[in-house]
Amino acid sequence: MREEDARQAMARRIECPVAWCDGAWLDHGGQGAPPDEWVHTGADAIDLPGGASLSRWSEGAGPVVWSLFIGAQAVADGTDLAAIAAQLRQIADAVEHVSEQ
């Protein structure tokens, strides 16, 4: 694929029935994948304090997976926001334990 064709393919969008999905053509069968393999991704990350952000994705009709990033590093994943919060509590508990040593 030529570089210009690749850029156009990456920018191309479809109308996805998943309301929060950005409809990237390549993720939605642009290279022949059936709908149960389509990857749905949110258009924009949700910015949080401290350089953190949340994003969501799913494959086909599968569950939504939330990912917490700090910078470009994923630090937590879960199928709902409560799972992310629980992982953060575990991290906070571990930090408090280290500071007590």
Q: How confident is the model at residue 91 (pLDDT cuts 50, 70, 90)?
A: confident
Those residues with Cβ within 8 angstroms of residue 88's Cβ, 6 or more apart along the chain or in another chain? 68, 76
Say yes or no: 65 and 16 in one domain: no
With 0.75 as the threshold, say if the pTM is over it: no
Over residues 8-18, the mean pLDDT reads 82
pLDDT at 101: 45
Say yes or no: 48 and 81 in one domain: yes
Say yes or no: 25 and 55 in one domain: no
Over residues 49-60, the mean pLDDT reads 88
Q: Which domain holds residue 53?
A: 44-101
List the end-to-end C-alpha distance of the chain, in Å, as a whole number. 57
| 3 state DSSP class of 88 | helix
| Residue 6, pLDDT above cutoff 80 | no
Say yes or no: 73 and 49 in one domain: yes
Say yes or no: 50 and 93 in one domain: yes
Say yes or no: 89 and 52 in one domain: yes
Say yes or no: 39 and 51 in one domain: no
Those residues with Cβ within 8 angstroms of residue 66's Cβ, 6 or more apart along the chain or in another chain? 54, 55, 56, 77, 78, 79, 80, 81, 83, 84
pLDDT at 100: 52
